[in-house]
Amino acid sequence: MRTKLFIFAAVAFAVTGRVGAGSLELQPKETAPPTITQSEPWQFTIAAPGWLAGLDGTIGVRGVNADINIGFDQILQHLDMIFAARAEAQKGPFGIYGELIYIGLSDGAQINGLINNVHEQVDQTLVDGALSWRLINQPRGSLEFAAGMHYTNVYERLTLNGDVVAIHQASEQFVTNISDDLRDPP
């Protein structure tokens, strides 16, 4: 009976020892290295956007008006200078951009009368700048909030050149007519 008790105790110890060994066995401590968050690099974009311009409006002096209508198909004949540039920088959801557009146009005309030469000059400047923050970024599209400024300046100059000979003749005729009227009242 002692043998049976000894075998039973040995089997019981082996079973419990094995069960206990699994739960008591210490694993070597391994710590996972900290995750390194990679910073997104700056992305820069520089562009020269295309722009089609036209001029349509009225210009005049003291009630004498001239209508101006130059479509974008004729604008190159009157173009003095054009400059358009856009720069953008973005890092992650943050962005900043600026844009400058300048166009200078001029034209002249010969006319008959006391004024024989008319010259028109128009310069337009557009400046945009903003900071942006991307709110939604999905493969199909994104949504950004932007806050910034927009500046527009339009400069116009109308130059009238007189016909000196015609002005002199008209002033002499005016003085003659006044003198005649003063001598011979109606």
Q: Are 35 and 45 in contact (CB under 8 A)?
A: no
Report the helix count and the strand count for the chain, using DSSP H and E.
2, 7
Which residues 6+ apart lie within 8 Å of 40 measured at CB?
91, 92
Q: Please provide the average confidence, as pLDDT, over all residues in the chain.
A: 80
Task: Out of 6-15, 101-110, 159-168, pick the least confident.
Answer: 6-15
On the question of pLDDT at 104 being above 80, the answer is: yes
pLDDT in tens, 49-76: 877 777 788 877 777 777 778 888 888 8
